[in-house]
A and B are shown apart, each in its own frame.
Chain A
Amino acid sequence: MIGPTELPPTSALAAAAAGGVAATTWVTGKTVNALWSINENRNSWIGVSGVGWVKLANNSDSAIVALTMLGADAKLTGGQVSYRQESDNMIHEMYVW
C-alpha cells in the first residue's frame, strides 16, 4: 500500500505527481463547493469550484466512504484540495488541507 507524500500548502515542497498512465491528471489548488449522494451502490460525487461535478472512485466500499468523508471535510472547511483523476474521469486519490 502506498501513502501520502504531499506536504501542507505552506511548505516549500510541491506535491509529487502519482505518475502512472498517461491519462492521469493531478488537479491542484481547488475547493469543494458541493456534495451529492444517492441510494445507489458506490455513487458519490463532489462539486469542485471552477470544474463542476466529479465522481469518486467506485472500486471499493471503504475507499469511496473515505473519499466521501474527505469531500465533506473540504466542503465544510473550504480547505484546499488536490486530486488525481484518471481516464475514467473519477477521483482516485485526494488530499484535503
Chain B
Amino acid sequence: MPEDNETAQLQALIQAANAQWTAGTTSVSVLPADQQLRRLGYRGGGPDPETLEQRSQISASRAAGVAATAVGIPTAYDWRNVGGSNYVTPVRDQGACGSCVSFGTTATVEAKMRIQRNNPGLAVDLSEASLFFCIGPGSGASCSNGWYMTPAMDGYKNTGVPDEPCFPYTDHQQSCAQCSDWQGRATKITGWHTIGSVADMKTWLSSQGPLATCFTVYNDFFSYKGGVYRHVTGAVAGGHCVSVIGYDDAAGCWICKNSWGVGWGEAGFFRIAYGQCGIDSTMWAAESIDETGWLNGVNVIGLWAIDQDRNAWVYLSGYGWRKIAPDNDNIFFDLLRLLAAAKEGKRPVNVFQKSAVITQVYVL
C-alpha cells in the first residue's frame, strides 16, 4: 500500500541526511502518539548507572572510536546465526504497557539458557508478566511508569522467573497472579554486572551471549523498517530497553531484538549505529543460568574422568556436562555408578542439580 505523506517526508529526510535506513508503515507507526508512548518503559537514572541524557552523552562522545575492535574479537557476530544455529527466542510483543525492561532482560536470559545448554532448539519461554507484575511493583514498576534495569536483574538473581504458562502476559496493569508452584519452576541467574567499555561488550557478545541495553527513542524510530538506524528527526519519545544479540563492524551497528512484535522493523529486530541514542553507554550481562532443580527423564550419553580426586562429570542429552557431587568417596562413587549404569542400559534418569552439580539420581 502507498506510504502516507508523513512517512514519505521522513524518508526524504533520511535520504537527505544520507542515513542508511528506510522508514515505512509499521505496526507501531500506525498507532496514535499516546499508544506509541505506552510501548516504551525505561526510566533511566534511579538505581541504574546513568540517566537517559547521560547515556546519550557518553555514547555520542565516543562514537568515533566505537568502530575499533580490540584484537582477537570477531568483527561481526549474530546469535541468530552461529554456525547455522539460532539461539534467539522468538520476537515478543509488550503491547500497550511500559514493560520493556522485562522483555529486554527476559530475551537476554532466554538466549543465555539456550547457549549455556548448547541447545539452540531448547523450548524456553519465561514469564515477562511474573517479572514485571510480581517482582516489579516492589521497586515501582507499572505499565504507565516503566521500570529500571537494576531491580529487574536483581529479580532474576534473587527471586527467579517462572515459565510463561505460569503467568501468561497480557498488556495491561494487573496484580501478581502467577501459578502457586512458581518457585519450583523459576529460572534464576547466578549473577549480573554492567559493562561500560565497547570492547568488553563485543567480547561478551561474541563469546557469552546477548546483553540487555536501553536507549532514547525518538519519534522517527517508530517508522523504522530496515537498515542501520540513526536518529534523523523527531522529538524524544522516551526510554526503551531491548536485547543486543550481535554487532557488525562493517555496517557499524549493534543488532537488537525489540519487543514490538514482528510487524515492526526487520521482522521485529533492528540495527542501530554505534554511538546512537545512548545505546552503548552501559549494557547489562546475565552471567549464567543457575542450574538448580530437577531434570526429569534425561539421558546420560557421555562420561568424563581425570586423574584428580572425585572429579567426574556426565553429559546429559539436551543439557550438557554436569559435575558429580564430590562430597566424599561413597557419595561420589554411588552417583557415578548409577549414572554410568543408566548410560549402559540406555535408561532415563531424574537428577537433582544444585548449581549444575548432580546431588541426587533416580535411574528409572
Q: Mark A1-16, 1 if CB is under 8 A from B, else 0.
A: 1111011100010000
Residues of B contacting A3 in the complex (Cβ-Cβ under 8 angstroms):
304, 311, 313, 321, 323
A67 / chain B contacts, CB cutoff of 8 Å: 305, 307
Q: Which chain B residues numbered 105 to 129 have a C-beta less than 8 Å away from chain A?
A: 118
Interface string of B232-259 (1 = CB under 8 A from A): 0000000000000000000000000000
B-side contacts of A6, CB under 8 Å: 302, 304
Whether B303 lies near A96 (C-beta < 8 A) is yes
Contact, CB under 8 Å: A92 / B340? no
Chain A nearest CB: distance from B25 CB in Å?
42
* A4-B304, A77-B344 known; A62 vs B309 contact (CB < 8 Å): yes
Alpha-carbon separation in the docked complex, A60 to B309 (Å): 6
Question: What is the chain A residue whose CB lies nearest that of B344?
Answer: A76
Roughly how many angstroms separate A66 CA and B323 CA in the complex, as a whole number?
13
B309 touches A73 (CB 8 A): no
Q: Which of B50-58, B197-205, B331-339 contacts A (4 or more CB under 8 A)?
A: B331-339
User: Is A72 an interface residue when CB atoms closer than 8 A count as contact?
Assistant: yes
CB distance from B326 to the nearest CB of A (A): 8
Residues of B within 8 A of A59 (CB): 307
B310 at interface by CB-CB < 8 Å: yes
**B301 part of interface (Cβ distance < 8 Å):** yes
B340 touches A1 (CB 8 A): no
The B interface, classified by DSSP as helix, strand, loop or mixed, is mixed
Contact between B344 and A69 (Cβ–Cβ < 8 Å)? no
Does B307 lie within 8 Å of A72, measured CB to CB?
no
Pick from B309, B310, B317, B337: contact of A69, CB under 8 Å? B337
Q: With A7-B118, A77-B344 in contact, do A69 and B336 touch (Cβ < 8 Å)?
A: yes
Nearest opposing residue in chain A for B84, CB measure = A12
* Complex CA–CA separation, A95 to B323 (angstroms): 14
- The smallest C-beta distance from A85 to any residue of chain B, in angstroms, reads 11
Given contacts A4-B321, A69-B336, contact A63 B304 (CB under 8 A): no
Write the nearest CB–CB distance from B32 to chain A, whole angstroms.
50
Contacts of A66 in B (CB 8 A): 305, 310-312, 332-333, 336
Write the residues of chain B forming the contact surface with A, with a CB cutoff of 8 angstroms.
Answer: 83, 118, 301-313, 315, 317, 321, 323, 329, 332-333, 336-337, 340, 343-344
* CB of B117 to closest CB in A, whole Å: 12
Say whether, besides A65-B333, A95-B304, A8 and B344 are in contact (CB < 8 Å).
no
- Choose one: A4, A63, A76, A94; the contact of B309 (CB below 8 Å): A63
Name the CB-closest residue of B to A59. Answer: B307
Q: Which of chain B's residues have a CB closer than 8 A to the CB of A60?
A: 307-309
Cα–Cα distance between A95 and B308 once the two chains are bound (Å): 14
Is A70's beta carbon under 8 Å from chain B?
yes
Is A57 in contact with chain B by the CB < 8 A criterion?
yes
When chains A and B are docked, how far (Å) is the Cα of A56 from the Cα of B317? 27
Q: Which of the residues A7, A63, A76 comes within 8 Å of B307, measured between beta carbons? A: A63
For the complex, give the distance between the alpha carbons of A2 and B332 in Å. Answer: 17
Distance (Å) between the CB of B41 and the closest chain A CB? 39
Sample 28 A-B pairs with CB under 8 A, ordered by A number.
Answer: A1-B308, A2-B306, A3-B311, A3-B313, A4-B321, A8-B315, A8-B317, A60-B307, A63-B306, A65-B333, A66-B333, A66-B336, A69-B305, A69-B333, A70-B304, A70-B305, A72-B340, A77-B343, A93-B304, A94-B303, A94-B304, A94-B305, A94-B306, A95-B302, A95-B303, A96-B302, A97-B302, A97-B315
Interface residue A61 (Cβ < 8 Å from any Cβ of B): yes
Residues on B with beta carbons closer than 8 Å to the beta carbon of A77 = 343-344
**Least Cβ distance of B116 to chain A in Å?**
14
CB nearest neighbor in B for A11: B118
Nearest to A92 among chain B residues (CB) is B307
A89: shortest Cβ distance to chain B, in Å?
13
